[in-house]
């Protein structure tokens, strides 16, 4: 599949929210409100294919602190999974983190093997700054988080 990655546009936010909602209903990730997505639009990447009318995949990189960012809301539509799209989206986030001068990027995930293959390593959640836990308060699983914290040193 010949696709491209670029930053999301305002008119794509509703479609992105629907994609995230499907995965949030399964408990795979946190739901995101339209307001939150618009507020963080510059964080969001999309993967598109010229031959498809829909967004194929999406991922966000949110800056948390002067040296730390989070990869979040990574979704690839099911028919396109296993084709390297998720990897390309994460690589786009890592590339931007390098340009911005960040030194670490983390993820809270159930997809440990996927992120391990990309060079992330598991860390204790307690090593992450408390600032990142603001999102966790929105999760139905809080405070009994069963996601794995992983970090990538840039």
Identify the pLDDT of residue 139.
54
Token match 């002067």: residue?
66
- C-beta neighbour count of 10 within 10 angstroms: 9
CATH of the domain at 62: 3.40.630.30
Domain residues for the domain of 127 are 3-153
Query: Which run of H or E residues covers position 135?
Result: helix 133-136
CB 119 within 8 A of CB 77: no
151 and 123 Cβ atoms separated by less than 8 Å = yes
Round to whole Å and give the CA distance between 67 and 129. Answer: 11
| Predicted confidence (pLDDT) per residue in 141-150, tens digit | 555 667 899 9
Over the stretch 99-151, which tens digit does the pLDDT of each residue have?
Answer: 999 999 999 999 999 999 999 999 988 888 665 556 655 555 555 667 899 99
Count of the separate structural domains present in the chain: 1
The partner residues of 63 in beta bridges, in order of sequence, read 69
Both structure tokens of 16 = 């992105």
pLDDT bracket for residue 25 (50, 70, 90) = very high
């Amino acid at each position: 599949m010949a696709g491209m990655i670029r930053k999301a546009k305002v008119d794509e936010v509703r479609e992105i929210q629907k994609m995230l909602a499907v995965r949030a209903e399964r408990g795979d990730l946190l739901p995101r409100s339209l307001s939150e997505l618009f507020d963080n639009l510059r964080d969001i990447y999309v993967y598109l294919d010229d031959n498809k009318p829909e967004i194929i995949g999406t991922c966000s990189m949110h800056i948390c602190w002067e040296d730390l960012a989070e990869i979040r809301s990574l979704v690839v539509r099911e028919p396109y999974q296993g084709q390297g799209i998720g990897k390309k989206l994460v690589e786009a986030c890592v590339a931007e983190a390098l340009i911005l001068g960040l030194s670490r990027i983390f993820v809270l995930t159930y997809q440990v093997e996927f992120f391990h293959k990309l060079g992330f390593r598991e860390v204790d959640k307690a090593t992450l700054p408390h600032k990142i836990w603001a999102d966790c308060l929105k999760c139905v699983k809080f405070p009994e988080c069963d996601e794995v914290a992983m970090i990538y040193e840039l």
